[in-house]
Amino acid sequence: MVATPTVGKDPVVTVTADARTELDRTRFFINGEWVEPRGAETHRAVEAATGEPLGEAALGTDADIDAAVQAARKALDEGPWSRTTVAERVEFMLKFADALDARAESTSKLVSQENGMPITLSSAFNGAAPAGLLRMYAQVIQGVDLEKARPSAQGATIVRREPVGVVGAITPWNYPQALAMFKLAPALATGCTMVLKPSPETALDTYIFADVAQEIGLPPGVLNIVLAGREAGASLVTHPGVDKIAFTGSTRAGREIGAECGRLIRRCTLELGGKSAAIFLDDGDVDTFLAGLPNASFMNNSQTCTTQSRILAPRSRYDEVVDAVASFSQGLQVGNPLDPATTCGPMASAQHLERVLGYIEVGRNSNARLVTGGGRPSDQDRGWFVEPTVFADVDNNDQLAREEVFGPVMAVIPFDSDEDAVRIANDSNYGLGGSVWSADEERALNVARRIRTGTIGINRYDIDLGSPFGGFKDSGIGRELGPEGINNYLEYKSIYAPANQLD
């Protein structure tokens, strides 16, 4: 695997020592209380569009993680949460959802400032989706048979489904509210407790969950939040008081977490990276394709794990597709994510901008052809902006086609036939998203069924929160979302009982 490219030095952010904002989060939420950190390290959150400071947050140590796990363990084993009924947990979840709804507008704005997500998208994924997921799983858990007797050769067996236990949730910065709730909602529904470790790149918004937990009177220890870096995150993975790890992030980190969970015989779900393909067949409609590109390839400034950055085009229409994608990219409105007219905001951080620019440099130094973009926008002199970029004539073996850029850099790859398109799409270490574009829906479905990927769309790509989501190959293990997502947080127990239990 080629190392992640970089160019130059990280841009420097100058912040005065006495800069403070009302957004500061200098304590952790543990056992239902705000507690002082055990260490002195902090993270300065910076607005992606301007480079200006947003707030300061404490970074946790192993000791902070240990305190959070102990609180979660006690709430599970001894506290009132261990004795709650489904109806009681549902009541808490619905109150949680209502409280998030009341904060939706401010939460959406904060996340857009943190990571550059366009505000219209942030309103959907950070404003509306978390509350929607809580309500969905409140409904799902009420339809789950948590204990049922079945006949056996010796009498009866009572099959129980119990909480998996204490969950260590590690979440990324690109969709911080939604991806945290992918884990928290089913965990609350099933009676688990949680230690949530968000990413420092979105250091501030996750604590909104703590504000809500206090407001609704969620029992102490059910939800604990500690912002931390990789070392303290690693201590959460290996802590003996944790029963399951739920991780969303890079494949590199996922490998390390999966290896530790395997060594410890610990349950885990891993939603990792992607290098998905959008397959435009020779009878596809260009207008339909362009209408779908915002979700398929450019959602959240292409800082999305399902980004279809490999665009497969038939040789018979290759130039047409390249020109259309380039024209679309040039038409994206690059600007401040708080402006509703913006369709492409900045990268989430200075470091991530350098990563994306590094991959553009890799493309320039390959045999690919730069069609549009390739640098910083001339009209954006602050923040972490990059031009939407399109490379044509990319070989599927090129680094630009093999590795996840996580930014608006598209690689257009030619193919000769449907068989060839399937072969190229599947020739990847990843398998998370994808799409097929054709005037013949049955033809498109036939192609889609042959792609080894966890999700794929026909003439569109829209994630369905009510259906299972996850990946093949290096894109992860397990599924989140939909009714199936509840299974990650339940264990089966068989109780061999007398036949009278069948009554």
Among all residues, which ones are annotated catalytic?
Answer: 271
Which DSSP string do the residues of 149-187 spell out, in sequence order?
EEEETTEEEEEEEEE--EEEEE--SSSHHHHHHHHHHHH
**Three-class SS state of 132:** helix
User: Do residues 392 and 315 touch, judged by C-beta distance below 8 A?
Assistant: no
Distance, CA of 17 to CA of 105 (rounded, Å): 30
Residue 470 has which token pair? 């996850």
Report which residue type is found at 393.
D
User: Do residues 393 and 62 touch, judged by C-beta distance below 8 A?
Assistant: no
Residue 202 has which token pair? 């979105």
Angle between helices 129-142 and 86-102 (to 10 degrees): 170
CA atoms in the 13 A half-sphere facing the CB of 107: 26
Distance, CA of 397 to CA of 399 (rounded, Å): 7
Helix H, strand E, coil C: the string for 381-405 is CCCCCCCCEEEECCCCCCHHHHCCC
Residue 132 has which token pair? 């929607």
Q: Which residue has the tokens 């390390």?
A: 256
What is the bridge-based pairing of β-strands 166-170 and 244-248? Answer: parallel
Residues 6 or more apart whose CB falls under 8 angstroms from that of 259 comprise none
How many H-runs (helices) and E-runs (strands) does the chain carry? 15, 22
